[in-house]
Structure 1
Amino acid sequence: MKQRVITAVIALIIFIPLIVYGRVPLSLAALVLGIIALDEVLIMKKMLLVSFEAIFSNIGVILLIVPDNWLTWLPSQLNRFFLFYVVVMLILLHTVVKKKRFTFDDAGVLTLAMLYIGTGFHYFISARADGLTTLLFAMLIVWLTDSGAYMIGKQIGKHKLAPRISPNKTWEGSIGGTVAATIILAVYLWFFPVGYSWVVMVGLTLILSIIGQFGDLIESALKRFYGVKDSGKILPGHGGILDRFDSMLLVMPCLYLLGII
């Protein structure tokens, strides 16, 4: 517990100024976090971080994360998605060169990981570009839901939510976390309006809280499949970057999907 607290304090000391200032420093931080998160998937798959597939996967996730205004110098035909397609094609061609040592399934996992991580961190940057209150709104949904689910689940949790994927999560904790996050953010939205009207945003908060929990379960399923406890060890007591940003990787793109950013 002491190690978790120390790591959290250090992370907040570094992260809060980046969130408040935003702009290029936050974008660079998002790029670094995205690369580390992708590398955690590569390590879980026992792939070398200096291999062809690892290098091009990192290029692919960078292409998806970078802010739109960083790529305005490219010709219209060479937009980020076409370049990403080229990266995917090169990774697929690598299955021919490596034959059974690098399979179509491996290429599929890396492509999905690039999309999942790259899109999540891209809209993390977009949320901050929309405004500090917007980014804090999304982050508070994740933090409050997670904290509320943990505390309420620990006190009254009895019915398992997904025992085969995450045995410690309960229905009581899940519902309690969403209710707690929605109530607290209703107050936040009253003083710091985001997106639509207050009533609509409170309803969307509830939906985003549930979506965030699915993000947590997806990452738990990933770790369960590869037989690891944590996605990485970069954050002592907390695990890896995927462990900390799993919910946000779904919540941030949904802000765009719902027209909030």
Structure 2
Amino acid sequence: MPEDILHLRALSMTIMQDPICELKAEEVERYILDLHDPIGELPLWHPTRLMNQIGDPFRARKLTVARYHKLILERLDNEPLLDAFGVDAGFNMQSYFMILHAWLIHQRLVLEGSKAKKIDEEMFEHCWNMTRSWLVLKRVPEYRFDAELQNVQEYMLGACIAMDKALERPDVLPARVQQCLWANMYSGSVSKDHKGLTRLTKYMLRQLGLMLQLDSDRFLSGQFVWADFPVRDKPRKPLALPEWRARFRVEIEENIEKMDPTNPTNPFRDRILSSPEPKDKLGK
């Protein structure tokens, strides 16, 4: 209705009054990394590089996806941010916070076209592998495991689709992003003017601006970090992690490569490989 659009425009203007929402072009360089690949920097004729190209022709793509995965994991363990947004250690909010960052990267991958399609698919597969691992650590019974995984995937993809639709109206984008976050991540359990919700809305707009302004080569090689976001500096109580989440953090700290389903040392490998694929993938 017209009055609804007017309300959304007014709310969007209120949100965008905070300069933190917009990332200026000159700020982007602050979040660029200069990562080195010892094998990739060898001369084209070098035996090691030639053997690597033959034995693992998709190494560059795997390296990029691994860097995206680490970026997402860093956000999940960033307790000041979690505290600022009111994100608890429960399975639902952790899953939504994870998929929101995957969605941000996905938006730029879509713009990169067909050359980034496989990267996009593998990045989301990493997210599903992490979800499977969480369900294993939560000790979900075998007879309910597949149904629980499918349920989580449907909710996560639903949130991404809702965010996609919010992009269709740039004039009310901030307000619609806030509505999507309120309905999905917060499950409507907080007021629509909740401080954590407002901060998260501004954070998403800022990170989306970063994704859209990164240099293509830097982005497709994963050589960047998330844009900084101010949080309160007063002492905060450490986040009390449930057993499954604390154990997952320990596993990651010991060896992040354990989460690779093709790694035979992965303690979750058998369960991961036997789990069903998601019904659909984003971008299809």
TM-score normalised by the chain length of structure 2? 0.30
Q: Which has the larger radius of gyration?
A: 2
The structure showing larger relative contact order (alpha-carbon pairs under 8 Å, at least 6 residues apart) is 2
When normalised by structure 1's length, the TM-score is 0.32
